[in-house]
């Protein structure tokens, strides 16, 4: 254990993953785990919300997302099942122009298929009027294929096809939002091989191309909020080594014991303590000069994120209020691993989410 390991709760250490995330009595398991769950059926959870159990499906959110970084661009693509409808969202960020291009299509939930787990070729997929998205999941072998095709109302088009191979250990968590109210997430760091074609322009992977997959299922509160930021690269203090970072602040009932903050390195991970997010400008009022500061209490995380463009999804109605923003920009500062090694993030491209919902 390193000198900073004392700031990490023992409950954040990997435990053996049980077969099922919900036991035979309807109780959810919580903690950090060492590999994929086989049985991720959260509908069996007993009273995860205040609603009767037969309404569990209406409160459960499911999604799988991929973030892929190439030399001149970043793509964030996801399929989400919100119980009443599905969404295929693809964001293309051009590093050269520092602009976000949006592709978003609502889908009926009957045509939205989220993989039951990440093993044995199980697929997350949807086909819709504007294209398709497909994840072919073989995480037991450390592999995933993601591909898609999407057009938007502006007449822009995007196609992508990538083979992903894991380069580090997975991050698998089940976080309590209440006594038996789980938020499950598995995030993995990959080497990416493939291409993006945006408006006919081809962007190819190279030896530095990287990706993160996020598989996500949970019972969010009707009033919910989270902040998240990540970066990934093949730049570790100037060396050609894989490095990535995940930082989140959500509605965990115990941030010290249950969070998903960590550093990925080649073949290993190093855990981080809870963090807070501070913004000089409310994200909904985004303008040039927006800065997010992300810090912890032990000088393990000291990062500034300069947002350069954002995707926004806002809806304000009688019983629904959505403010969902995805920001792209540049990081500065550092993180420390558990040994105390300081890792610079200066100049790395970051992606951040700021999401508040009444739904």
Question: pLDDT digit string (tens) for 75-99?
Answer: 999 999 988 899 999 999 999 999 9
**34: Cα within 13 Å, side-chain hemisphere:** 6
Residue 288: predicted pLDDT: 79
Higher-confidence residue: 303 or 289? 303
Tokens read off for 4: 């900073």
Give CA torsion, residues 27, 32, 34, 36, to 10 deg.
50
Q: Which of 40-44, 252-256, 354-358 comes out lowest in average pLDDT?
A: 354-358
Q: What is the mean pLDDT of the chain?
A: 96
Check: CB of residue 142 under 8 Å from CB of residue 126: no
Q: Is the pLDDT of residue 162 over 80?
A: yes
Domain ranges of the chain: 5-358
Structural element, H or E, at residue 56? helix 56-59
Dist CA 210 CA 234 (whole Å): 7
pLDDT of the residue at 229 = 98
Q: Which residue is associated with the tokens 């806002």?
A: 314
Q: What is the pLDDT of residue 64?
A: 98
Reply yes or no on whether the pLDDT at 359 is more than 80: no
Per-residue model confidence (pLDDT) at position 45: 98
Percent of the chain clearing pLDDT 90 (strictly above): 92
DSSP state of 12: G
User: How confident is the model at residue 96, as a pLDDT?
Assistant: 97
> pTM to 2 decimals?
0.96
Average pLDDT over residues 323-349: 97
- What residues contact 135, with CB distance under 8 A and at least 6 apart? 64, 66, 79, 115, 123, 124, 125, 144, 145, 146, 213
Q: What is the mean pLDDT of residues 268-285?
A: 94
pLDDT classification of 286: cutoffs 50, 70, 90: confident
Print burial letters for 19-36: b (CB count within 10 Å at least 16), e (below 16): ebbbeeeeebbbbbbebb
Rounded Cα distance between 121 and 46, Å, is: 29
Read off the pLDDT of each residue in 153-175 and give the average, rounded to a whole number.
98
- Residue partners of 95: CB distance under 8 A and separation at least 6: 71, 72, 73, 74, 349
What is the pLDDT confidence band of residue 13, given thresholds at 50, 70 and 90? very high
- The pairs formed by 77-83 with CB atoms below 8 angstroms and a separation of 24 or more are 77/133, 77/146, 77/148, 77/150, 77/160, 78/133, 79/112, 79/114, 79/124, 79/125, 79/126, 79/133, 79/135, 80/112, 81/109, 81/112, 81/114, 82/109, 82/359, 83/57, 83/58, 83/59, 83/109
CB 359 within 8 A of CB 287: no
Distance CA 141, CA 163 (A): 13
Evaluate if residue 1 carries a pLDDT over 90: no
Q: Which position has the token pair 């993030």?
A: 345
């Amino acid at each position: 254990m390193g000198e900073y390991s004392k700031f990490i709760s023992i409950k954040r250490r990997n435990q053996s993953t049980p077969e099922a995330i919900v036991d035979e009595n309807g109780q959810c398991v919580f903690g950090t785990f060492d590999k994929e769950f086989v049985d991720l059926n959260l509908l069996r959870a007993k009273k995860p919300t205040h609603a009767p159990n037969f309404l569990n499906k209406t409160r459960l959110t499911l999604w799988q997302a991929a973030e892929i970084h190439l030399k001149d661009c970043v793509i964030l693509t996801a399929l989400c099942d919100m119980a009443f409808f599905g969404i295929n969202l693809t964001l293309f960020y051009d590093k050269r122009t520092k602009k976000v291009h949006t592709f978003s299509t609502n889908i009926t939930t009957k045509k939205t298929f989220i993989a039951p787990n990440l093993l044995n070729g199980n697929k997350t997929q949807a086909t819709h009027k504007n294209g398709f998205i497909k994840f072919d999941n073989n995480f037991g072998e450390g592999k995933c294929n993601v591909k898609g095709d999407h057009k938007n109302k502006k007449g822009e088009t995007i196609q992508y096809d990538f083979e992903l191979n894991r380069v580090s250990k997975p991050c698998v968590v089940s976080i309590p939002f209440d006594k038996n109210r789980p938020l499950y997430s598995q995030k993995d760091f990959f080497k990416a091989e493939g291409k993006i074609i945006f408006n006919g322009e081809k962007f190819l992977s190279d030896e530095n191309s990287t990706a993160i997959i996020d598989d996500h299922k949970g019972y969010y509160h009707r009033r919910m909020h989270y902040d998240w930021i990540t970066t990934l690269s093949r730049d570790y203090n100037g060396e050609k080594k894989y490095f990535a970072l995940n930082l989140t602040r959500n509605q965990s009932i115990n941030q010290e014991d249950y969070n998903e903050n960590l550093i990925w390195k080649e073949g290993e991970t190093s855990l981080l303590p809870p963090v807070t997010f501070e913004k000089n400008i409310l994200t909904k009022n985004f303008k040039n000069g927006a800065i997010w500061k992300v810090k912890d209490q032990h000088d393990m995380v000291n990062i500034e994120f300069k947002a350069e463009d954002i995707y926004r999804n806002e809806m304000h109605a009688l019983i629904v209020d959505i403010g969902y923003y995805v920001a792209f920009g540049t990081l500065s500062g550092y993180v420390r691993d558990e040994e105390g090694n300081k890792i610079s993030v200066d100049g790395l491209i970051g992606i951040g989410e700021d999401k508040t919902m009444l739904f």
